[in-house]
Amino acid sequence: MKIEDDIPLLDSILGDYREAIGSQYEPYRNHVYRVLNYCFAFHDCTGDDHEKLVITACFHDLGMWPGDNVDYLAPSISLAQEYLSKTEHEEWSTEIALMIDFHHRFRTYTDASYPLVEVFRKGDWVDASLGWRRFGLPRTLIRQVSRKFPNLGFHRNLTRLAFKQFFKTPLNPLPMMKW
């Protein structure tokens, strides 16, 4: 599999949020590229599927900024839906909202109407777990993608935010996680 390392749509979307993301811009951009490359390994993407996954990847954690918000699923979905409205892709709203909403789900997403939801869930889990959850992807691919798009402290920042959230709401420290 060829690693995709130049996705103009990704850089265009994220570029609009560079200031809001601040010092986490490059770490987040690399996370988005890693997730997408894992998704592309799970699913042969062309046309609309490719574009839907790129849009979803850009927005899936974006509601975290500004303000280090750990309960970021709803804000991320809102940002994605604003973008879809601006770009006249409202017909993708349900599917992209589902991909964002369920990307931290522990269990398999089984609604066959939206197969990209499971593709995206697995792609994000591979990166979020630093390759511990591989869903059959070869370790060599995960290493290649990680070398191409280094972590740059992305997971360290997530850990920092989780601790911050724990002290704020100890009974719900990870509100973005779903069973």
Note the pLDDT of residue 64. 84
Instruction: Please tell me the predicted confidence (pLDDT) of residue 3.
Output: 97
Q: How far apart are CA 67 and CA 81, in angstroms?
A: 20
**pLDDT at residue 49, as a whole number:** 97
Q: What is the pLDDT of residue 45?
A: 84
64-85 residue pLDDT tens: 887 666 677 899 999 999 999 9
Residue ranges of the chain whose pLDDT lies below 50: none
65 in Cβ contact with 22 (< 8 Å): yes
111-128 as b/e: b if 16+ CB within 10 A = eeebebbbbbbbbbbbbb
Strand runs (DSSP E) across the chain, as ranges?
Answer: none
> Residue 54: its pLDDT value, please?
98
pTM for this entry? 0.89
Q: What is the pLDDT of residues 40-54, one digit of tens each?
A: 999 988 889 999 999
Angle value at C-alpha 139, between 138 and 140, nearest 5 degrees: 90
Q: What is the rounded CA–CA span in Å between residue 66 and residue 142? A: 30
